[in-house]
Amino acid sequence: MLPSRETSTVEGDPVGSRSRAAALALCAALLAAACYPPPDTTAGPARAQDAPSCRGTLVGVAHPDDDVFFLTPEIRHTIRAGCRVDTVYLTAGDDGKKNRLKAVEYVDRREYGVRAAYAEMAEASNDWKRADVQADGVRVRSYLLADKDRDTDVRLTFLDLHDGLPQGGSPNSLLKLFEGNRNSIEPFQGGSGSYTESELLATVSALTRLSGAERILTMDHDNASFAFGLGGGVDHSDHGITARYLRKVGYALGIPVSSYLGYTMSPLKPNLTAAESAEKDEVARWYIANRKCRATGTCANVAPFKGPLKKDWSLWIHRQYQQTPRDPRAGELMGDIGRTTFFTSRSPEQCLHADSGKVDIRACDGSASQKWDLGHDKTIRLRSDRGSCLTASEGSARLTSCKPGDPDQQWTRMPWQSTSWKRTAWQISGSGNRCLYQDDRELPAHWDARDRQNPQLKLSACGKQPMPELYWRWGG
């Protein structure tokens, strides 16, 4: 179906949502755009009932077009099945452009394009209604697909943080927030407040609860090499950090999280059928056409883009790869935190590993150094050396000779508990209520650095709120 020209979207506040005054200032900068102050915030209209087989879906990505190129056709299939889809964009996708006016225009074009892409996926006219939401006390800019002739339930929501550049080098990047180099980051719309990590997680959690989502789709939360490139070893920092935050939200709320590869799927074998690739191509061409016509003011009778696609886009049209870690094999203690880098394979699985008394986390390799027995006496013993026990040691753990009754060798498994997300995993608690912890913030210093190829093993306070860093699966 050919979406009609977008006619009903209120295009005020093109890149922000927390400050009415800042929105008006930006609107003045957009000389060719029709801008209005943000409307009064609403909680959004009541939702239509999903089909019995549908699961409400929250898509969480870094910026517009990540969803088009990396999570489609899954999003398209979900919408076409009549299911609710709420997509949340953490960043504005400003591409680090230093010229303010050019950055604002670029953000606006991306948003305009992605609305057309979703209208195409829904077989609906490209009409949208401004319907901001209150999330943890923050007004967040949001739009509902508003074709009255189609029974669709599609919402696009924009948090408008900075893109941060592929390597996360800009001052307000998500990567700097995640690594703790910044206590808070300013949004792309200047002068409208800031987000600490806890505030950002609270806002995204509130948006997820409001959506009624029963599953979360996001990008690759295992990749740790951040740069631009199509060789398969790197991806952008905003992609990876957005996915890590969506994973945290999913764990806290008990909502299953599915991750999809981004740039790292470029060299992989095409895996979509001819029909799926054709459908994805059509969605992408509506995105491109509307992004282009927005720049020239010629969107009244726009048609899908007919020219050749850029190299990276042409690769992604034929691919969609869900990242699905394998189950632990016999004896393996596999962490919920995966890791891939420029130097590793594409397999993200990470296991508890013993090496001459030292215990750390390494890529799962099936060796005897990664096979453990969890005893009824609460010890964790190396299967190949039953006299050696996992022992709490300062802020981490090591392997020492087993000593009956030693409190530092006593470990209690606390099972994953969720009525909405069924899985078998445990927190592993030692003395002092400290749990085995997979520190995912220890990332390589640079995309081609050989340090920190694995999460760091630490002991941390066991959490009442589920956190991915605290959970392990055992192969028995």
453-469 residue pLDDT tens = 999 999 999 988 899 99
The pTM assigned to this predicted structure is 0.89
Percent of the residues in the chain that have a pLDDT greater than 90, as a whole number: 78
Q: What pLDDT does residue 42 have?
A: 38
84-100 residue pLDDT tens = 999 999 999 998 787 88
340 DSSP 8-state letter? B
Tell the burial category of 345 from Cβ atoms under 10 Å away from its Cβ (0-12, 13-18, 19+): exposed
Determine the CATH number of domain 20-322. 3.40.50
Please provide the average confidence, as pLDDT, over all residues in the chain.
89
Which two structure tokens, joined as six digits, stand for 177? 């927030």
Count the helices and strands in the chain (H runs, E runs). 9, 23
Q: What pLDDT does residue 192 have?
A: 57
| Residue 15 clears pLDDT 80, i.e. is over it | no
Domain boundaries, the chain: 20-322, 327-474
N residues, the chain: 476
| Residue 45 clears pLDDT 50, i.e. is over it | no
123-151 residue pLDDT tens = 999 999 999 999 999 999 999 999 988 88
* pLDDT tier at 9, thresholds 50, 70, 90: very low
92-125 residue pLDDT tens = 999 878 788 888 999 999 999 999 999 999 999 9
Measured CA to CA in angstroms, residue 233 lies from 247, 274, 356, 406 at distances of: 21, 27, 31, 44
Q: What pLDDT does residue 169 have?
A: 84
CATH class of 327-474: mainly beta
20-322 and 327-474: same fold? no
Asked which of 24-33, 149-158, 258-267 is least confident by mean pLDDT, the reply is: 24-33
- The interaxial angle of helices 100-121 and 274-296, nearest 10 deg, is 140
Asked which of 165-174, 241-250, 446-455 is least confident by mean pLDDT, the reply is: 165-174
| Residue 13 clears pLDDT 50, i.e. is over it | no
